[in-house]
Structure 1
Amino acid sequence: MRIFSRVLLLILIALSLMLAVVLYYTLNPKLPDYVPVEQVHYQDQWSAADRQTYYFTPQGTQVKGLHYDWFTALELPFSEQRFTAPEYLARFGFLVDPKQVLTTQNPGNLPVGFARHQNADSKVQYLDITCAACHTGELHFKGQALRIDGGSAQHVLPSSVPTLRGGSFGQALVASLAATYYNPWKFERFARKVLGDQYDAQHDQLRKDFKQSLNQFLKVAWNDTHRGLYPTEEGPGRTDAFGRIANASFGDAISPDNYRVANAPVDYPQLWDIWTFDWVQWNGSAQQPMARNIGEALGVGATLAFFDSAGQPLQGDARYPSSVRVRDLHLIEETLQRLKPPTWPEDLFGAIDKPLAVQGRALFAENCAGCHIPTVTEENGRPVQQLKMLPVDYIGTDPGTASNIADQRYDLSALQWDPAELAQLNVELHPTPTAPLDLKRMSVAQGLAYVTAFVEEHAYRAAGVTPAERPGLDGFGLPIGVRELRAYKARPLAGVWATPPFLHNGSVPTIYQLLSPQDERSTTFYKGTFNYDPRHLGFETAAFKNAFLFDTRVTGNHNSGHEFRAGARGNGVIGRGLLPQERWALLEYLKVLGGPQEQQLP
């Protein structure tokens, strides 16, 4: 009996130590140091007014009910330093300008993409993480920063799953929320900042409301952790977008049986010219701009109600109320139509070798143009680029994203959809199904198409969108088109030099490595820096303090495919082997492709 007691005690001590370690790193995330740049340089990708509109227009996300003024009043767990201090949020990879000051659009002086909104039936201003947070990039070189509007973010936003590294924004935010609630001195400072002269009257209600929001965060963190939903650590600049949207929309909101492992993170793609693409998403699965943007907003935290207060599925025009702001989403979409690709900044990154770029132009025509130069047509008043879809078996890149979207199934029968009612929605499945839809086995793409169709209809009515306005808000009158291909799209490459890392999962750090055989690519490399390598066209990959180690041997992280090497085409081989001097020439041409400097080549 004594031996058993001692073993039990040792087990308890070991568990306590493990919990203490996890708590320590949760409350003290291992983050890169903040190194401010001398100046942030902005290009003429669009006007300053368009830039501010894009950065701070809300889309209707509510981040677990977190109020904007709560967020700006939070402190770090073990100090009185503001959680939202620009120099602290920059350590997570969010974009700040050392010269930025608070404005009417950004009263909290927060990073790019941190907005606020107020619902029609509420006086509360909610924290709203908008698309600019994930689709704005930055490149640093010799103390200077080049802002890439519409580019790829490199933050660690999504995960609230506790890890020993503790480097995600979600995890750190939950730690500060918990510390604020459970530390009475911290909560008193917080309450006085938030309530001001209403402190006495509203203190108790603030504590109840704050705990309700904290409970939502803790519930998600516990659920994601004990179910092991996100085993492949996303790290800087990635998220399993479809997996997270499906788990939020079908798992959180409908049934725990619908949770699926999301192990295929993808990079945030660049957005210039996206409005001209015939199909979007990495696997070419979506067509309509509004439906795409509603799905994104739902994934980031827009509210969505499937059931009434009695737990019964909503029917008819009651489907489905949300916090999505369709007019603001349309404003963002219109603004993006004016966005131009970035141009190589010779004053920052060095002069272009024009003779070498000319050689690269010929090599591009031989080796790249067949996939990356699409056919352009005119449809409904817009230029449409017909992007080539490359089957996974041919391109050979990590299949996880395409396979999960094509294969995973969800039971949506609890929503009690009538097939006849679905047929009236503005949804087009490609190819047209030959059998009735099985609501117990819906794919994520199909399920989200119908959900967003209902959400869109409800939101349009709530926003007073007229029938005449609707085609414009939809986006060129497009239907909610859905495809499920085991393929990835080959997009045009204008400005590609500004979008590291590469492949859909960010597994190749530089374009030079992308033009090399797989055995010449880095098996592991470090991420989390903005420091740019203008020779190889990518981020620097050497170790630095609290860097994220990207391991291409992990599920979802494979750096296979898109290889130029000897061998039969297919199974990852897309072209002949390129000599080093040919790769350098291609890199030089990619600096000017699609921009005004290309016209200056002889």
Structure 2
Amino acid sequence: MRLFYRVLSGIALILALGLCIVIYYIANPRLPFYTAPQHVHYQDQWSEADRQIYYYTPQGTQVKGLHYDWFSALELPFSTQRFAAPEYLARFGFLVDPKQQPSVANPANLPVGFTRHQNPGSNVEYLDITCAACHTGELRFKGQALRIDGGPAHHVLPSSVPTLRGGSFGQALVASLAATYYNPWKFERFARKVLGDNYEAEHKQLRKDFKTSLNTFLTVAWNDTHRGLYPTLEGPGRTDAFGRIANASFGDAISPDNYRIANAPVDYPHLWDIWTFDWVQWNGSAQQPMARNIGEALGVGATLNFFDSHGQPLQGDERYPSSVRVHDLNLIEETLQKLKPPVWPEDLFGNIDRPLAAKGRALFAENCAACHVPPVLEEKGRKVKQLRMLPIDVIGTDPNSASNIADNRYDLSALQWDPAELAALNVELLPKQEQPIDLHQLSVAKGLAYVTAFVEKRAYKDATVGPEEQARLNGFGLPIGVMELRAYKARPLDGVWATPPYLHNGSVPTVYQLLSPQSERDQRFYRGNVEYDPRHLGYRTQAFEGGFLLDTRISGNHNSGHEFRAGPRGHGVIGRQLQPEERWALIEYLKVLGSPLEHQLPNP
């Protein structure tokens, strides 16, 4: 019997040690080391004032009720170092400038895209993560950093699912929140920083409010984990945006029956010139700028209520209160309309071989222009680029993103929408739908369009915005257009050299590989290193500490399609095989496409 108890005690000890190791590695994610650049170079893409507006204008996101001063005061789980220290957040890929200092717009000295807002009638400042956090890039080369405003970010933002590998901002944030709440010494330090002279009077309420926010994080993490909603790991610079928005809006907020597997991570697209496109999103599913921006704010955490305090669906003019800020969203949109594509910095990355680039110009006209130089029409006082949509059986790239948006269905009948109400909304379905809307099986594109229309209508009402002003804020008087094509758009390639990796899911690391047959592309490569390769136009892909290994054999990660190789066209083959010298010439031309440098090329 004594031996039995010893064995049992030994097993219990081993399990306890194993649990401690698991908790330690979950709370200490594997992150790349951060080395500050010698200097951050900013291009003349817009004015410094425009840059600050873009970086720190709030959208109305609330990050699950997290207060700005709470976030600023958090400590790491096993030390007193600030979680929000710029050098720590930079390890997740968020952008900081070594010379930056606290300012009126950024009092906590946080990375690009971290700001704050107050809701009407409240004195609480919520942490607000804006579009700038995901749509601002940086390229490193020989100790120098080149900021790419409007470029794709390469942070690891969304997932709070606990894993031993770690590396996610969401997971690390939840670990710090939990450690602060359950460690009395940490919470004491935290409370005194946050409350100051109000410590005695407000300590208990702070603990209660803090636990409410923590519970929200833990509930989402548990739900995502045990349901296995995100089987394809996203990693740096990627998120399954539509999948996460749908699961939050239709699953969390309406019914667990609406949860769907989200296995289609996409890269954050670059933003210059998007206001000239006829359709946006990788699959060309959205049209109106305000609706696009409201959808993005909801995806990042803006509050949204479908039901009243008794669980009954809101009706009529009560639909749908949210925290989105339409005036600020419009300010960001108007600021982005001033954004110019980046220009190849010869002083940093090397001189352009102009004769070679001139040869590349002819090759571009032969092989690329048909898709990537769209016709331009005049519509409502602006020049609109009519982007070409390429069906997935033609372009041959990973189908998950386009297919999920077109095929996944959700039951929104609990919201009790009246067909007459839907018909009166500023929503235009293309192609026009002849059959009545079936609320029991609505696609994510249509469902989000109607939700966004209600949210937009209520937000304009709360902000006392009249009809004429609404048309302007919507963007060019456009309706909330919806398309559900199993296709991806071919966008113009101005500044494409600054937007690696490539394809909608970031599965091809360099332009050189994108111009090559699939057999010559890396099957597995590391993401998260922002050290630039100016020869191949991409990031360095070698293994490094804390790097994310992208395996293109996994569903959602496929690097197929957009191939130039010998054989019949179609099923991913879009052009003839390009010889290596032709690829180099095209690369040289893509460095200057659409920039003032293009006018310096010699005539053929």
Q: Map of 1:195-594 to 2, 5 A cutoff?
A: 195-594=195-594
Structure 1 residue 15 displacement after superposition? 6.0
> Aligned with 2:526: secondary structure?
strand
CA distance in 2, matches of 1:24, 1:404: 36
CA distance in 2, matches of 1:101, 1:142: 25
The amino acid of 1:229's aligned partner reads L
- For 1:38, the equivalent position in structure 2 comes to 38
**Deviation readout 1:446-493 (Å, 9 max, x if unpaired):** 000000000000000111111121111100000000000000000000
C-alpha change, 1:511 and 1:2, in structure 2 (3 Å) is: farther
Bigger drift between 16-25 and 510-519 goes to 16-25
The amino acid of 2:440's aligned partner reads K
C-alpha change, 1:584 and 1:450, in structure 2 (3 Å) is: same
1:63·1:302 contact (CA, 8 Å) conserved in 2?
yes
1:140·1:530 contact (CA, 8 Å) conserved in 2?
yes
1:236·1:528 contact (CA, 8 Å) conserved in 2?
yes
Structure 1 residue 6 displacement after superposition? 10
CA distance in 1, matches of 2:172, 2:510: 30
The amino acid of 1:258's aligned partner reads N
Structure 1 residue 235 displacement after superposition? 0.3
The amino acid of 1:99's aligned partner reads K
Bigger drift between 18-27 and 252-261 goes to 18-27
- For 1:75, the equivalent position in structure 2 comes to 75
Residue 25 (structure 1) aligned with residue 25 (structure 2) = yes
Structure 1 residue 22 displacement after superposition? 3.0
C-alpha change, 1:146 and 1:309, in structure 2 (3 Å) is: same
The amino acid of 2:322's aligned partner reads S
CA distance in 2, matches of 1:511, 1:551: 18
1:387·1:490 contact (CA, 8 Å) conserved in 2?
yes
Structure 1 residue 252 displacement after superposition? 0.7
CA distance in 1, matches of 2:471, 2:351: 45
Residue 181 (structure 1) aligned with residue 191 (structure 2) = no
Bigger drift between 277-286 and 543-552 goes to 543-552
Structure 1 residue 3 displacement after superposition? 12
CA distance in 2, matches of 1:12, 1:263: 38
> Aligned with 1:124: secondary structure?
coil
Alignment identity in percent?
A: 79
Structure 2 gaps, min length 5:
none
The amino acid of 1:451's aligned partner reads V
> Aligned with 1:468: secondary structure?
helix
**Deviation readout 1:244-287 (Å, 9 max, x if unpaired):** 00011001110111111101100000000000000000000000
Structure 1 gaps, min length 5:
none
The amino acid of 1:323's aligned partner reads S
The amino acid of 1:223's aligned partner reads N
CA distance in 2, matches of 1:8, 1:411: 50
> Aligned with 1:507: secondary structure?
coil
C-alpha change, 1:386 and 1:13, in structure 2 (3 Å) is: farther
The amino acid of 1:505's aligned partner reads N
C-alpha change, 1:9 and 1:401, in structure 2 (3 Å) is: farther
Structure 1 residue 380 displacement after superposition? 1.1
> Aligned with 1:328: secondary structure?
helix
CA distance in 1, matches of 2:580, 2:229: 42
**Deviation readout 1:168-211 (Å, 9 max, x if unpaired):** 00000000000000111110110000000000000000000000
C-alpha change, 1:106 and 1:517, in structure 2 (3 Å) is: same
1:283·1:402 contact (CA, 8 Å) conserved in 2?
yes
CA distance in 2, matches of 1:276, 1:21: 52
CA distance in 1, matches of 2:179, 2:306: 33
The amino acid of 2:104's aligned partner reads T
- For 2:56, the equivalent position in structure 1 comes to 56
TM-score, with length taken from structure 1: 0.98
CA distance in 2, matches of 1:15, 1:326: 52
- For 2:85, the equivalent position in structure 1 comes to 85
Root mean square deviation, CA, Å: 1.6
1:21·1:164 contact (CA, 8 Å) conserved in 2?
no
CA distance in 1, matches of 2:306, 2:4: 51
The amino acid of 2:383's aligned partner reads P
1:518·1:561 contact (CA, 8 Å) conserved in 2?
yes
C-alpha change, 1:209 and 1:563, in structure 2 (3 Å) is: same
1:22·1:162 contact (CA, 8 Å) conserved in 2?
no
CA distance in 2, matches of 1:597, 1:564: 27
> Aligned with 2:467: secondary structure?
coil
C-alpha change, 1:11 and 1:293, in structure 2 (3 Å) is: farther
1:406·1:486 contact (CA, 8 Å) conserved in 2?
yes
Structure 1 residue 19 displacement after superposition? 3.8
- For 2:125, the equivalent position in structure 1 comes to 125
1:228·1:261 contact (CA, 8 Å) conserved in 2?
yes
Bigger drift between 16-25 and 347-356 goes to 16-25
Structure 1 residue 2 displacement after superposition? 12
The amino acid of 2:57's aligned partner reads T
TM-score, with length taken from structure 2: 0.98
> Aligned with 1:115: secondary structure?
strand
Q: Map of 1:152-171 to 2, 5 A cutoff?
A: 152-171=152-171
Q: Structure 1 runs of 4+ off > 4 angstroms?
A: 1-18
